[in-house]
């Protein structure tokens, strides 16, 4: 039962262009969403997050959009840089109750930014 899905295993983008990574979820109880960047043999690094009460959050080159009705979120990186090449994980959580702090991850999308 994959509650968080990243249907694109990989994405290739030219340097300077926009990277768009997508994520879908099924659990309507999720109210907080996060994006992490991960290199092989390292732990995930937090990038950006969004609460379900918002539909957009921006931090520098990174913007996350949330469409609650479609249960869909996306991460936009613009302009993309070769150093952005990594695996990107979407994660979701239910803030509160017994699920406090627990994250459910998607499968990840490998982003490659070509110079």
Partner 1 sequence: GAVVSQHPSWVICKSGTSVKIECRSLDFQATTMFWYRQFPKQSLMLMATSNEGSKATYEQGVEKDKFLINHASLTLSTLTVTSAHPEDSSFYICSAPGQGGREQYFGPGTRLTVT
Residues that bind partner 1 in the complex, under the rule CB under 8 A: 32, 34, 36, 41-46, 49, 89, 91, 93, 95, 100-108
Pairwise CA distance, residues 97 & 83, whole Å: 38
Instruction: State the CB neighbour count (10 A cutoff) for residue 52.
Output: 16
Q: Which is closer to partner 1, CB of 40 or CB of 115?
A: 40
Pairwise CA distance, residues 86 & 111, whole Å: 5
Smallest distance from partner 1 to CB 23, Å: 12
Smallest distance from partner 1 to CB 104, Å: 7
Smallest distance from partner 1 to CB 42, Å: 5
Smallest distance from partner 1 to CB 113, Å: 20
Q: Which is closer to partner 1, CB of 27 or CB of 79?
A: 27
Quick check: 38 and 49 in contact, CB under 8 A?
no
Encoded tokens for 97: 């109750």
Q: Which is closer to partner 1, CB of 108 or CB of 111?
A: 108
Instruction: State the CB neighbour count (10 A cutoff) for residue 106.
Output: 23
Q: Which is closer to partner 1, CB of 22 or CB of 104?
A: 104
Strand partners, 109: 88
């Amino acid at each position: 039962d994959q509650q968080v899905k990243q249907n694109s295993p990989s994405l290739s983008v030219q340097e300077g262009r926009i990277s768009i990574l997508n994520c879908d979820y099924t659990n309507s109880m999720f109210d907080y969403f996060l994006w992490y960047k991960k290199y092989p043999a390292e732990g995930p690094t937090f990038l950006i997050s969004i609460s379900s009460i918002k539909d957009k959050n921006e931090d520098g080159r990174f913007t996350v959009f949330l469409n609650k009705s479609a249960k869909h979120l996306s991460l936009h990186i613009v302009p993309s840089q070769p150093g952005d090449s990594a695996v990107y994980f979407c994660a979701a959580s239910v803030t509160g109750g017994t699920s406090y702090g627990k994250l459910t991850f998607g499968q990840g999308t490998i982003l490659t930014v070509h110079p």
